[in-house]
Structure 1
Amino acid sequence: MAIEIKAPSFPESVADGEIAVWHKQEGESVARDELIAEVETDKVVMEVLAPDDGVLVKIHAAEGDTVESEQLLATLDAAATATASAPAAGDSAGKAAAEPAPAVDSEAVMGPAARQLVEEHKLDATKIEGTGKGGRITKEDVLKHLKEAPKPSAPKPAAAKPAAPAAAEGPSGERVEKRVPMTRMRARIAERLLDASQQTAMLTTFNEVNMAPVMELRRKYKDQFEKTHNGTRLGFMGFFVKACCEALKRFPEVNASIDGSDVVYHGYQDIGVAVSTTNGLVVPVLRDADFMSLADVEAAIRDLGLKARDNKLSIEDMTGGTFTVTNGGVFGSLMSTPILNPPQTGILGMHKIQERPMAVNGEVKILPMMYLALSYDHRLIDGKTAVQFLVAVKDLIEDPARILLQL
């Protein structure tokens, strides 16, 4: 029985996608719900799963082809079996017999970023240990393999003694260049960042916050918090998300967006949390974050981070958002100017916690300080409002009890 395998249904905000990788080839057997292909859109990588057991008899869209929503991708013969799939394959029997099984298995659990690195460096995927879900080979696994693999020594020429100095000096003079096309997601990210810088009157204001009160609160209650909330860890991001929600209520312009000549004021706080992945920066959204507890925020951020790492984020996870929080401090950034995520008009940048000498009541004390950066669209938000918003966040973080008391 022939079954049509179609592309996922794209939402209205996504026009089309691109076949990133086929994990199965024509003539190979597949199991129900097994990953057979990945379709990369402007926002997420969507998985195509086998609807039933059978043999993949025909692929209608090759890797790199652009496909539309619910377009026919392949045909599956549900009546065929694995033993019957070999002679039915489009490739010759000799080629199918010569191809070792481990290589096929490794291809089946390799992500698009990892596959690209393997092809560039001409690696044997069967020798790479996969640490991803179900033994999936990730980009980090390939990079680790490259780092640990012994570098092959240059072969010695026939006249070894006179040619040895030249052979030793050869690699130092190499000027290697590579040209690879941008992934669809990276190209879209570049386009949106360029639009944000060209179509908004973006300005950034800075302040610094004393993290000692939050750090002390976290040190005192983190173990009890984790036990009470089923393993959810108490981090810093939850405090900043809740502080932003309270500050956004006080300054609705920062929570608004511009739609043509209209200003749209949002009566809710959907906070986007920027997450860095191997495919690029993504911003999943915490819906109604103002109604979430600190534990709910931390648990939701953890879940979204895991989904982003495994390319499991859906379009719905990243749609909308009225304000964004990004944390460059996890990578060691001391200060930066975050770029707006249109149509939002504000984004808060967190940074590295650094001990610095500060003047406190006429005395010099060493305090754990963090620089905060608020980038905002000056077309809607005045400098006074932006500064007051950032000061409100600072006051809430330096006295976290205010978050609970809404002071």
Structure 2
Amino acid sequence: MVSDLQGNSLSGATTAALDLYEGANRAFNLYRGDPIGLIDGAIQAAPDFAMAHILKAYLYGVATEPDATLEAQAILARAKTLSLDEREMSHIGVLELLLAGNWTAAALALDKHNINYPLDLVGLQCGHLMDFYRACGRNLRDRITRVLPKWSAAVPGYSIVQGMYAFGLEECGDYGRAEATGRQAIALEPLDCWAHHAVAHVMEMQGRAEDGVGWMRTREACWSGEDNFFRVHNWWHLSLYHLDLGNIDEALRLYDGPVRADRSQVALDMVDASALLWRLSLLGRDLSDRWQELAEVWDQHADGRLYPFNDWHAVMAYLGSGRDQDVERIVTAFRAEQGEAPEVARWARHTGLPLVEGFVAFWRGDYATAAERLQGARFIVNSFGGSHAQRDIIDWTLTEAAVRGGMKHLAEALVNERQALKPHSRVNRGFLTRLHQSWSH
């Protein structure tokens, strides 16, 4: 029986197909290169290679894009006809839950899978991504903690596991250990974009904007290549540092350059583009042409059903481009009663809807309604939606609504909150200045 680099058996694999499969795995681990092309090569070399089909289904399944999800469902149907061992059958069960829109159930099934197969790197990485997409900071850390003693530097992929652990530590607020672990992972594998971005998150959360710019620039060659799936997200992080330093023109230059120059149609890249444009608009920039371009690309992904975090970011672009009919389309989808609906429908109705309503109200100048909706919607951890850094846009918008709406006591409380976290941020100091000016009148 052929086995992977970590010693897991691979049903239907051949030695020739194994090399292509491991190449695809490495590309996935590092978020660079062409994992789909490599995995297609493995399947061509060994059509009954179960884990090759399973990995391909995961790659499409975690893309959070409607067309990719349909492709994943077709791949899964093929995989279920193959001869499978217990580990591979376990993956099939996870994929069935994931592709039905039940992210938490899928993540919990992978918890059990990871405990039973602690050296299954595909299972660990896909579970880590599911924890990220549902904003479960504790499990981003503890999924890795539970299996880490089984790993060592002698096991291939150890640095990748360390990189995931670093991000989990960061999302749980353990910034010192997160940075140290991320740096250790990068020392072992300099091309590990996830570990690099874990350290970037630490600096963002600690308000170390100058350190962050230095961190990104000195390692730029490792994360900015054209074959790097994570490059736009890392450029986005660099833009956030510049916003905190008051370098608004530089952040806008980065948007027009590496963040959006290639007009990416990848949902994750478009999330970053919407989030950066929204922040720039809060700072008073006229971005109408940019919003229009982005809104048109969002049309292929924003269906109001697959993943509410993406739909919310599409709404930002629809608002910016004046496409009210598309805003209403998403809101209507979020409000729809769906009976025995998948988890993502509950996310949309109970968390996504007030979030979108708050942003719509803000854009239209109804700051009281915006504040009312966003005060609750900002606490979406363990529901859905990315990292603490990504979700900060909610708090920023809420604070802006309170300041613009003359809600002095609420504004003061929110500004105090932001100042305590990042006292040197030019954005937060700007809030403080405006607050003092409003109190003086």
The TM-score with structure 2 as length reference comes to 0.27
Larger Rg: 1
Whichever structure has more helix as a proportion of its residues is 2
* Richer in strand (by share): 1
TM-score computed with the length of structure 1 as normaliser: 0.28
